[in-house]
């Protein structure tokens, strides 16, 4: 949702995006755990954030943003800098699904949200728990 159209990327763009993604995950984990930032991951994110970001344009139909892969990645990196240095840091949580590594901002009442989303992980976990309960429940005698 950050850009409306992106020019096709090359293998090098995919490699760079993967490197930035892994650095960002490390930095988010460091921040969530209250640890010092990993210096190498910090350098990777900051290098991406220094590049020119995507620039929105006003058109007759409204806002439109075209970007190259590098511009899109720079835009993501800048938003990550804002997130990791902003007031939402205490609200960051990692999904409770052991198979998921997504991190989300918990703005739920009571801050008791457990999953990145109900439509994905939450439903899977709840359905599995329901099936497990049904399987282990003693069969009721027929009358």
Assess whether 12 and 28 both reside in one domain. yes
Assess whether 14 and 80 both reside in one domain. yes
Q: Structure pTM? A: 0.79
Q: What is the reported pLDDT for 76?
A: 96
Domain boundary among 39, 70, 86: 86
Question: Long-range contacts made by residues 29-37, C-beta under 8 angstroms, separation at least 24?
Answer: 29/94, 31/84, 31/89, 31/92, 32/89, 32/92, 32/93, 32/94, 32/103
How many domains in the chain? Answer: 2
Assess whether 69 and 133 both reside in one domain. no
Q: What is the reported pLDDT for 86?
A: 94
Assess whether 7 and 51 both reside in one domain. yes
The boundaries of the domain holding residue 115 are 93-143
Assess whether 57 and 101 both reside in one domain. no
Assess whether 4 and 56 both reside in one domain. yes
Assess whether 58 and 16 both reside in one domain. yes
pLDDT tens digit sequence for 25-47: 999 999 999 999 999 999 999 99
More confident residue, 116 or 71: 71
* 111 contacts: CB under 8 Å, gap ≥ 6: 91
Assess whether 4 and 62 both reside in one domain. yes
Confidence of residue 11 (pLDDT cuts 50, 70, 90): very high
Assess whether 50 and 11 both reside in one domain. yes
pLDDT tens digit sequence for 65-94: 999 999 999 999 999 999 999 999 999 998
Say if residue 142's pLDDT is above 70.
Answer: no
Confidence of residue 140 (pLDDT cuts 50, 70, 90): low
- Look up residue 113 and give its two tokens: 């949200």
Assess whether 80 and 121 both reside in one domain. no
Lowest-confidence range among 13-27, 52-66, 116-130?
116-130
Assess whether 72 and 134 both reside in one domain. no
Assess whether 112 and 78 both reside in one domain. no
């Amino acid at each position: 949702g950050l850009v409306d159209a992106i020019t096709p990327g090359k293998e090098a763009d995919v490699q760079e995006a993967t490197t930035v993604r892994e650095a960002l995950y490390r930095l988010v984990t460091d921040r969530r755990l209250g640890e010092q930032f990993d210096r190498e991951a910090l350098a990777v994110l900051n290098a991406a954030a220094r590049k020119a970001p995507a620039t929105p344009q006003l058109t007759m139909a409204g806002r439109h943003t075209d970007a190259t892969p590098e511009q899109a990645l720079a835009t993501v990196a800048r938003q990550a800098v804002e997130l990791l240095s902003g007031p939402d840091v205490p609200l960051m949580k990692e999904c409770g699904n052991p198979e998921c590594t997504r991190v989300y901002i918990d703005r739920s009442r009571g801050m008791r949200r457990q999953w990145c989303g109900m439509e994905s992980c939450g439903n899977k976990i709840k359905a599995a728990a329901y099936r497990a309960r049904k399987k282990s429940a003693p069969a009721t005698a027929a009358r």
